[in-house]
Amino acid sequence: MTQRRRVAVVGVGVVGPCGIGREAFWAGLLQSSSGDKRLVEGFDPTPFFANPKEARRADRFTQFALAAAAEAWEQAGAPTQLAGPRAGSWISSGIGGLGSLEEQIAVLNEKGPRRVSPFLVPMMMANSAGAAVSMRYGLQGPCENTVTACAAGTHGIGNGARLISDGRCDLVFAGGSEAAVTPVAVAAFNNMTALSSVGISRPFDVERDGFVIAEGAAVLVLEEWSSARERGATILAEVLGSASNADAHHITAPSPGGEGAIRCMRSALDHAGITPADVTYINAHGTSTPLNDAAEAQAVAAVFGTPGPPISSIKGVTGHALGAAGALEAASVVLSMQHRAIPPTLGFATPDPELPALDIVAKAARDWEPGPAISNSFGFGGHNGTVVLGPGSV
């Protein structure tokens, strides 16, 4: 069996509801947020396109992905010599261009079929963000995406890293993007009682009553370790391993006791070659829904014991960006390593006595000596994903 190659994180780009750009995003994670939607305010897509017309022909989720990719590419040192057949992209989305679809359905109903945009199909395709990134940077290797609901962003990073570790690529743009805070999506999630009735995201809190819908994107530039070292790139973190599995239980509810999440975390740790005792931080999926938080807490306790490593959910600030959530959270872990601090679970105030007593970081950031960390994502349909990240200094 061919030895796995190490995967370095050499660039991070973020378009988040609490900040555009990785440093603004990090600052936002340390402040409280409010409102029943977490939107990316003040975003201007035009700098990332040749002209305004080209920008209008891309859905908002593709615009987000290009902006995040541009920031990550710049931090990576813009290694154009690595573009070509051994460079790829894996930019995931849970829903794709739903906003464009809704807009054009309105056009169809109001003005007739001849007025529907011929650009609708490429705008709404869930793979259009990854395709746009590949064309922008000349990535002629695999250009794929994962559509696995709220686990899509984590799966994008895990699958992108495997392209490098397995020897298929030397450079990969990996992450997720979502811009599905649309009237139909909000109505649908609200009618299935998934959204918070009071517009507050309270992960693991006894009064949690649903998630706050959000949008955003995050992209990591991944590179084969020795390649990054040889060209003098700053290695921000390392993708140590990942895992993906299915509950095979219910279209929306997690498996009882978090059984699928338990298997997923254990598989990711095995892939990374580490034990639960090695993990120093858990970035939780932590959506603020009653069933999901309970299943995840039970799963974490089963794998790590109680109180276990420090755990936090950034969704108290960001809300839930669906298919982009895992990418935003992986980016936050890399930023945590850079800032040597764990962001708090804002919105968490009162522990749920029915849940295991975990070490939840709350109210304020906690100083942290970076070590192996995991980031979890669990999506509708029973999709589970875990990525294991380590510091980049070793």
User: 165 is in which domain, residue-wise?
Assistant: 7-382
Percent of the residues in the chain that have a pLDDT greater than 70, as a whole number: 99
Q: Give mean pLDDT, residues 294-322.
A: 98
Q: 18, 264, 271, 285: which is the annotated catalytic residue?
A: 285
Q: 18, 143, 169, 320: which is the annotated catalytic residue?
A: 320
pLDDT for 113-162, tens place per residue? 999 999 999 999 999 999 999 999 999 999 999 999 999 999 999 999 99
Is 1 among the domain residues? Answer: no
pLDDT for 63-96, tens place per residue? 999 999 999 999 999 999 999 999 999 999 999 9
Grade residue 2 by pLDDT with cuts at 50, 70 and 90. Answer: low
pLDDT for 98-115, tens place per residue? 999 999 999 999 999 999
Based on C-alpha coordinates, what's the Rg of the chain?
Answer: 20
| Residue written as token pair 């298919």 | 323
Residue 271 bears catalytic tag: no
Is 64 among the domain residues? Answer: yes
Is 393 among the domain residues? Answer: no
Is 239 among the domain residues? Answer: yes
pLDDT for 245-273, tens place per residue? 999 999 999 999 999 999 999 999 999 99
Percent of the residues in the chain that have a pLDDT greater than 90, as a whole number: 97
Grade residue 1 by pLDDT with cuts at 50, 70 and 90. Answer: very low
Is 388 among the domain residues? Answer: no
pLDDT at 293: 97
Q: Are 104 and 120 within 8 A, CB to CB?
A: yes
Residue 169 bears catalytic tag: no
Q: Give mean pLDDT, residues 234-250.
A: 97
pLDDT at 65: 98
pLDDT at 20: 98
Give the number of domains in the chain.
Answer: 1
pLDDT at 394 over 80: no
Residue 285 bears catalytic tag: yes
CATH label of the domain that carries residue 274: 3.40.47.10
SS3 for the chain is CCCCCCEEEEEEEEEECCEECHHHHHHHHCCCCCCCEECCCCCCCHHHCCCHHHHHCCCHHHHHHHHHHHHHHHHCCCCHHHCECCEEEEEECCCCCHHHHHHHHHHHHHHCHHHCCCCHHHHHCCCHHHHHHHHHHCECCCEECCCCHHHHHHHHHHHHHHHHHCCCCCEEEEEEEECCCCHHHHHHHHHCCCECCCCCCCCCECCCCCECEECEEEEEEEEEHHHHHHCCCCCCEEEEEEEEEECCCCCCCCCHHHHHHHHHHHHHHHHHCCCHHHCCEEECCCCCCHHHHHHHHHHHHHHHCCCCCCEECCHHHHCECHHHHHHHHHHHHHHHHHHCEECCCCCCCCECCCCCCCCECCCCCEECCCCCEEEEEEECCCEEEEEEEEECCC
Q: Give mean pLDDT, residues 337-358.
A: 97
Is 222 among the domain residues? Answer: yes
Q: Give mean pLDDT, residues 207-225.
A: 98
Q: Give mean pLDDT, residues 356-372.
A: 97
Over the chain, what is the mean pLDDT? 97
Q: 18, 143, 150, 169: which is the annotated catalytic residue?
A: 150
Angle at 153 between CA 229 and CA 184, to 5 degrees: 155
pLDDT for 181-209, tens place per residue? 999 999 999 999 999 999 999 999 999 99
Is 389 among the domain residues? Answer: no
Is 394 among the domain residues? Answer: no
